[in-house]
Chains A and B, each alone.
Chain A
């Protein structure tokens, strides 16, 4: 049985969820809060799936929903965090990435992680894959927390520069 209209819209959401997560994070300035908002957006997208015409611009439609949901939730939670002005957000939105560039960056990250020495890769996996804090990694590895912190910063910089170089974002 072919997927229903709502299922197709949900699949589109899934395909674009990374980009939507980014849009929300740019607006609220908080990656963790953005995850929560993304889930709320999924619920709204599902409930309003009927109003989306397949074949039209899903990302624009979902970003509009995400924008309003973010404003609403930030208001509800009375967030006092400083966020970007509407003008700055508009400038960002005009150059917001699409699925292709997201996939290119994912591929670049994959290649760069492959190039990392095993120890640096393991450190990255513990921090990002397992979500461990430097203190937790220090406890596991027997290193001092500040040493782990420095190592993490260094690996993070190496990785980011490698990805940016592959994307042509060189200094």
Chain B
């Protein structure tokens, strides 16, 4: 049996409860030492879970109601569930018996693909023929049907003849109709998120609310409507929103609009910055740049004696790295930090500087690629968030050549891909952004688009403009004012109470000289950083500033 098959067998046995003793220990060792084993574990585990949730009946042959097999068995509908959930499911089943629906299949628009109803009540389906039945998975939606989602439930609707998916939120009521011009969704109230497949020529999907009509060619967007207002936000592509007075406005990715009676339609960018943890951040800079050292080309620890070219040298490198992480964790705890920002995980072998692309780790710094999962897991286990620098330019390493940074036509996509990698591999949540958008985009636009696509991350652009505060916490070095100064965060907070800056590590002399200003900045919400990899006097001053800033 190959090591991979052995691992899969171990996962199966673990989940079957038949693993113990030294075999369990071997399994644990592989998980601790092999990131690939962890990825395989999750893939195997998720495979089992996904199979258990899969809507098998969706693509099954047509069948009678009496022979119907329940397709999706979400966790609240499985045997031995809580009484309330079971009762609710029973009600749904009874409803299906009491209200048999005989409808032609020719005008089926979509099917209910998935229902989540923690309270057991998913909602009702009001048929065009005046019949009403409980919402069930796999049920067909015909032209003219109205879906009413219950409080707390969500429903996913998949179109039958195209790859369009609707997500309907709690308390949403929507009616689906179809004609030669396309599909119409009448959203009376609630929230509808849509991923719309490219529509055939001369056909269009439209969403109509009490205040607006949204015309869609093929895109991802969300609409929330009630009696007083309709808000639309676009994730991808373009939609046209028309108000009742016939005024219309085109929205592109990241844009939003609110339609209210008697008020003109105005484009608004959704402000997405919400990062409430304002404790300090540690910074990790592990390398000396372009050292030229033969045995330590990446410049680890700024020490020419490090040798990453021999097995013995690598053992010593890892030992030293682990000691440094011990020290880092102790320093982060001492300063009560929220996390640590890795600035040069890829090493600094090449002249352009910080790489900001962890995807290249194995090519640029294989010794760190082998160690990164271990050290980052230790930091996360100690309760600290992980930050990873990402660069707007593409880093390229030609065969046998030196690293170069190349401007790209879509810096947002470039940064987004790097963020996704660091999120997947290490659970990173904080991302200093190096570089700029060049001629293609402003840093504000880049941050706006990323925050729309990746909510819940903190972006720290180093080349920021004032508008960037709406979607990120810009990196500010008050000792070396560049694009923006520390005063810009005060200015930003006048319009956005949640705005804040992340202040670069400062020398002790600067910290002492501007102590009162920094206390005020921290009190107002700005975040201080400090060098985390060794014990230094600045850490104590940062701690003291935070202590002073407490209300």
Contact = CB atoms under 8 A, between A and B. Distances in A.
Interface of A: 1-3, 7, 10-11, 13-15, 17-18, 21-22, 25-26, 29-31, 35-36, 38-39, 42, 46, 53-58, 60, 81-82, 84-88, 90-98, 100-102, 105-106, 109-110, 113-114, 121, 124-125, 128-131, 159-160, 163-164, 167, 169, 171
Interface stretch (B45-53, B95-103, B487-495): B45-53
B307 to A, nearest CB: 27
B69 A169 contact: no
B56 A128 contact: yes
Nearest to A167: B43
Nearest to B45: A22
A3 to B, nearest CB: 5
Contacts of B380: 90, 93-94
B2 interface: yes
Contact of B423 (A1, A36, A98, A113): A98
A21 B75 contact: yes
Given A2-B226, A88-B31, 12 more contacts: A14-B116, A18-B49, A25-B49, A31-B15, A31-B49, A35-B78, A60-B429, A85-B28, A86-B381, A95-B35, A97-B424, A128-B51
Contact of A94 (B52, B59, B189, B377): B377
Interface stretch (B261-269, B270-278, B319-327): B270-278
Contacts of A121: 56
A164 B27 CA distance: 20
B367 interface: no
A48 to B, nearest CB: 15
B115 to A, nearest CB: 10
Nearest to A85: B28
A131 B541 CA distance: 61
Given A7-B170, A82-B24, A54 B420 contact: no
B17 A124 contact: no
A105 B381 CA distance: 26
A109 B373 contact: no
Nearest to A169: B43
A56 B38 CA distance: 26
A52 to B, nearest CB: 11
Contact of A3 (B24, B80, B191, B420): B191
Given A14-B154, A39-B81, A90-B377, A84 B31 contact: yes
A141 to B, nearest CB: 15
Contact of B54 (A53, A101, A128, A164): A128
24 contacts: A10-B118, A11-B154, A14-B154, A21-B49, A25-B15, A31-B15, A36-B80, A39-B75, A53-B276, A57-B429, A90-B380, A92-B31, A92-B41, A94-B380, A95-B35, A95-B426, A97-B42, A98-B423, A109-B54, A124-B51, A124-B56, A130-B70, A131-B73, A159-B47
Contacts of B17: 29-30, 81-82
A97 B46 contact: yes
Contact of A55 (B20, B60, B152, B455): B455
Contacts of A92: 31, 38, 41-42
Interface string B220-255: 000010100000000000000000000000000000
Contacts, number: 200
Contacts of A42: 118
B152 A7 contact: yes
A95 B373 contact: yes
B60 A125 contact: yes
A13 B14 contact: no
B229 to A, nearest CB: 10
B377 A105 contact: no
A7 B28 contact: no
B456 interface: yes
B258 to A, nearest CB: 12
Interface in B15-65: 15, 17, 19-21, 24, 27-28, 31-32, 35, 38-57, 59-60
A125 B61 CA distance: 13
B171 interface: yes
B151 interface: yes
Contacts of A35: 75, 78, 81
B159 interface: no
Contacts of B152: 7, 10
Nearest to B227: A1
Contact of A56 (B31, B425, B456): B456
Nearest to B276: A53
A46 B84 CA distance: 15
Contact of B82 (A39, A82, A125, A130): A39
Nearest to B13: A29
B4 interface: yes
Nearest to B189: A1
Given A56-B276, A88-B28, A169 B39 contact: yes
B210 interface: no
Given A42-B118, A128-B54, A29 B456 contact: no
